[in-house]
Amino acid sequence: MEIEDLTPFLESASRAGIGIMGCADIAVRRALPAIARSPFRLAAVASRSGEKAKSVAAGAGCAAVEGYERLLEEPGVDAVYVPLPNSEHARWARRALEAGKHVLLEKPAVPDEDSARALVALAEERGLVVMENFAFLHHPQHAQARSLVADGAIGELRSFNGVFGIPPTDPGQIKYQAELGGGALWEVGCYPVRAAQEYLGPSVRVLGAGLTFDAGLGVDVSGTALLGDGEGVGAHCSFGLSHGYRSTYDLWGSEGRLVLEWAFTPSHSARPVLRLEQKDRQTRILAPASDQFVGVFTAFHEAVADPAARPVRHRDLVRQAGLMARIRARALEGAGG
């Protein structure tokens, strides 16, 4: 199948064009509607299947491309969003950067710090940005939480406790495939680990970690990680793929506690609650409804347009990759793996 003529989709030449590499559920369900409301111009959707690309593109009003390499050859695509299986992230991010495209990688971006540093070095050499998609950070409730902590609402921060667990689903899904980078740590554990870094200092280290593996599935299905920084703030992160749904974190300080009741995956129409506990008083704070995917694509567009916005994205990617790799290594070491 030949690549379609993108001319009809390039009316707004001043807007950066973005292509989606793959038709994963998250791309169709969350990314496509968000891009339509972001500063980007949706240029194309690519799939290994030409028919699938056509089906998705028809509903999105953009071009369909068969094959990921063909997407990277298109000059009307300035940036790409990569929601492929975890095992494919590093390879396709590198190819996209080599083709001169900015890259937004679905989480977890890459499995180790060396891979992250290599992508960042290539991006900086080419004058591009490579960014990891933690959309939840772009929901207003997290800015509210950071502001409350900074203003002393809970006194001095002592500890962070984050939990993300989801019920079991079809064992044939990618998150249960070890060879595709599946497992609880990568699928859900990365969320509380990333959230903790918003509050712990840059000297964060792994104090302990454990993973529980399902022999039949061949992947970890639950786990915990204990982190600490040089300022004495600790973080306990727990996660799993065989749990009742929980998506929360709390911040415990010297004078109170702040709880985010729906921290990681609120719906775009929901108004998540922040619960502030101070001595004998409890205050419930409603966050505004927000599509956090619009937020992350808007932030990515800012980094595409403004080189000054790129260093923090690169730093965060490297830091998260290194910390996740150390958590996994500590857990396997403790298990004798």
107 is catalytic: yes
Three-state secondary structure of the chain:
CCCCCCHHHCCCCCCCEEEEECCCHHHHHHHHHHHHCCCCEEEEEEECCHHHHHHHHHHHCCEEEECHHHHHCCCCCCEEEECCCHHHHHHHHHHHHHCCCEEEEECCCCCCHHHHHHHHHHHHHHCCCEEEECHHHHCHHHHHHHHHHHCCCCCCEEEEEEEEECCCCCCCCHHHCHHHCCCHHHHHHHHHHHHHCCCCCCCCEEEEEEEEEECCCCEEEEEEEEEECCCCCEEEEEEECCCCCEEEEEEEECCCEEEECCCCCCCCCCCCEEEEEECCEEEEEECCCCCHHHHHHHHHHHHHHCHHHHHHHHHHHHHHHHHHHHHHHHHHHHCCC
Catalytic residue, chosen from 52, 54, 101, 107, is 107
Positions annotated as catalytic residues are 107
